[in-house]
Structure 1
Amino acid sequence: MNDPESNVVRFLAVDCDHENWDMLPGSMPKPRWTPITRDSQRHHVIWELASPVIIGENARRKPLALLAAVQMALTYHLNGDVNFTNTLMKNPWHQEWSTIFYPDARPVDLHEFDDWLLPRGFYTKAANSNIKPSPHGYSRNVDLFDHVRHWSYQNWTGDWAEVYGIAHDFNGMFSVPLPSKEVDATAKSVCRFMEEDYTGTPKPVLRQRTRDTKVAAILDAEASIRASGQRPTNAMIAAITGIPRRTVTNILNTL
């Protein structure tokens, strides 16, 4: 469902290697569907996101961190496979699966899972430490970014290759490493920040964005999304540019 060549996460799935497909807690937001292997009863529980999340070079930290936290929580509560990468999912319409479709399901906002999130510190945090990384799924993206940026705050010399090396070395410590493309995108994002915005503090100097710069950013994001084979939505453009979705809507309505 999620194109591995794209940096947009539209569906969030939990891979369950057990037969308890009917144990979904009643108060949990309803998934779109649950495809089940007939003989083993192994299954995927799949939610559609109301606001797709961008990963890779243009990822915003807070949405990605929330996506990782929700993925960890759902995997824990449903006893899912922590090594599942959320890219290859069972096709719900394939004749080999028995699929449950939830008629009252709808695209969900990640904040609807707030009551299900795990306590802070439930998983070992590896950023800026010598502890071997334990996170899985999108938590790898978050921990990789944190580790590389913290390292760069202390050691930045302007050498991009050095940052890329740190990123790939850290990625190699995961039990299931991220694809090289995602590691490169993270390293590139950190290098660009260090080169263009770093002022001796992790917080960049805030720059007033004029309407013209916002229009240019919106059009660039729209073109980038189309180039990845996706149909751009205002939520996706907002996620890439950091411009509020209402502002994106207002600007596009006037172009």
Structure 2
Amino acid sequence: MTQPAEACQGPAPTNLALFRQRLPRKPYHTDTLGDGLRIRDIQRALAARYIQPNGPTHRYWLVYDVDRSGAALDWNDRGAPPPTIVAQNPENGHAHLIYGLDVPVRTAPDARSGPLRYAAAVDCALRALLDADAGYAGLICKNPLHPFWRVTEWEPRLYELGDLDSWLDLEQYGDRRKRLPDYGLGRNCNLFDRLRRWAYRAIRQGWPDYDRWHEAVLVRARAYNDFETPLPESEIRASAKSVARYTHRNFNPAAFSAWQAAQGRKGGVRSGEVRRKGSAEEAQPWIALGVSRRTYYRRKKKGAGDVF
């Protein structure tokens, strides 16, 4: 008798096993934070107390550093969602709370800005709710596969961002014109936004060749990496390369002239509409709220309290 496909596949791996499967091929790792980080193959890295949980292009795990005794449990008192995995220091009670995502967030520079900002808002709001260390860089975490830590698995299901959203208040992060907190994914969003806005203007000053332009963008990206906990150099280089390639390919004298003409035509139509219908804010109330037309009507349908 043929077994169902589910039975043939066997039981789903535990989240600790999934943590192992999702590790980068050559993760950063160390036994002592003061000794600096090493990069070696996964088998050697697994023996270290601290390990890199996420690769450079995807965020599979949201990790929070809670430096309080009893950190493994006080998330419940704060009304926070149950962590997927907790790795606690048995000597002082401090812990890393690890939340697993069913669908990872793409953090590469070519990621769509809307989903990345939403993920960053969730990340920042959850950190605030947990009162976790805002200076935690997130590059490495307590390795839950190492026997030194006291490890607990709480939530067996991986989270969707919407699941985490339901536990959080994202109101203060809803205005896309405002800078996100310089924490976690918020740093990625803030760096990229500042860099691209500068690049859109700066490339018009002489229309340089690609090599000179890439170097200028990289210098600017490093200057913008002025966070209290800076992003790694690898992420700075990746963002600079993405912005430099996009602007150099799409911004040139001919394209810029065509864009100016198109904007002029739009301005003429918009002015006519205002004369006929009143102010743009009256005709398009989403402008005053600082949200998109789609978000405005979705919020109106669901209720004023919904942000995303």
**TM score, norm. by length of structure 2:** 0.56
Counterpart in 1 of 2:282? none
Consecutive unaligned residues of structure 2, counting only runs of 5 or more, are: 1-18, 25-51, 260-308
1:16-95 matches, within 5 Å, as 16-21=66-71, 22-25=73-76, 28-95=80-147
**Does the residue aligned with 1:186 lie in a helix, a strand or coil?**
helix
Quick check: 1:183 aligned with 2:236? yes
**Does the residue aligned with 2:150 lie in a helix, a strand or coil?**
strand
1:31–1:105 Cα contact (<8 Å) kept: no
CA shift at 1:47, angstroms?
1.0
Counterpart in 2 of 1:224? none
2:86–2:152 Cα contact (<8 Å) kept: yes
**Does the residue aligned with 2:230 lie in a helix, a strand or coil?**
coil
Q: In structure 1, how many angstroms separate the alpha carbons of the residues matched to 2:130 and 2:70?
A: 9
C-alpha deviations, 1:182-207, integer Å up to 9, x for none? Answer: 11111111122212335556xxxxxx
Counterpart in 1 of 2:306? none
Aligned with 2:59 (options 9, 20, 32): 9
Quick check: 1:151 aligned with 2:198? yes
Q: Give 1:111's aligned amino acid.
A: G
CA shift at 1:99, angstroms?
1.7
164 and 60 in structure 1: CA distance in 2 versus 1, 3 angstrom threshold: same
CA shift at 1:180, angstroms?
1.3
1:29–1:108 Cα contact (<8 Å) kept: no
**Does the residue aligned with 2:172 lie in a helix, a strand or coil?**
coil
CA shift at 1:28, angstroms?
4.1
CA shift at 1:43, angstroms?
0.5
**Does the residue aligned with 2:75 lie in a helix, a strand or coil?**
coil
101 and 112 in structure 1: CA distance in 2 versus 1, 3 angstrom threshold: same
2:218–2:240 Cα contact (<8 Å) kept: yes
Point out the more displaced range, 155-164 or 6-15: 155-164
Aligned with 2:148 (options 96, 115, 124): 96
Aligned with 1:112 (options 163, 171, 184): 163
Q: In structure 2, how many angstroms separate the alpha carbons of the residues matched to 1:93 and 1:181?
A: 26
Q: Per chain length, whose mean CA-contact separation is higher, i.e. which structure has more relative contact order (CA < 8 Å, sep 6+)?
A: 1
51 and 134 in structure 1: CA distance in 2 versus 1, 3 angstrom threshold: closer
Q: In structure 2, how many angstroms separate the alpha carbons of the residues matched to 1:120 and 1:67?
A: 14
Q: If each structure's helix is expressed as a fraction of its own residues, which one has the higher value?
A: 2
134 and 13 in structure 1: CA distance in 2 versus 1, 3 angstrom threshold: closer
Q: In structure 2, how many angstroms separate the alpha carbons of the residues matched to 1:169 and 1:117?
A: 32
Q: In structure 2, how many angstroms separate the alpha carbons of the residues matched to 1:100 and 1:40?
A: 16
Q: In structure 2, how many angstroms separate the alpha carbons of the residues matched to 1:11 and 1:81?
A: 16
Which has the greater radius of gyration? 2
1:8–1:53 Cα contact (<8 Å) kept: yes
Q: In structure 1, how many angstroms separate the alpha carbons of the residues matched to 2:153 and 2:118?
A: 26
**Does the residue aligned with 1:13 lie in a helix, a strand or coil?**
strand
Counterpart in 2 of 1:236? none
CA shift at 1:89, angstroms?
1.6
Q: In structure 1, how many angstroms separate the alpha carbons of the residues matched to 2:165 and 2:178?
A: 23
What is the RMSD of the two structures over their aligned residues, measured on CA atoms? 2.7
Q: In structure 2, how many angstroms separate the alpha carbons of the residues matched to 1:98 and 1:188?
A: 41
Instruction: Report percent identity of matched pairs.
Output: 27
**Does the residue aligned with 2:98 lie in a helix, a strand or coil?**
strand
CA shift at 1:78, angstroms?
0.7
Q: In structure 1, how many angstroms separate the alpha carbons of the residues matched to 2:181 and 2:153?
A: 33
C-alpha deviations, 1:227-254, integer Å up to 9, x for none? Answer: xxxxxxxxxxxxxxxxxxxxxxxxxxxx
**TM score, norm. by length of structure 1:** 0.67
Q: In structure 2, how many angstroms separate the alpha carbons of the residues matched to 1:162 and 1:185?
A: 14
CA shift at 1:122, angstroms?
9.8
Q: Give 1:14's aligned amino acid.
A: Y
Quick check: 1:168 aligned with 2:222? yes
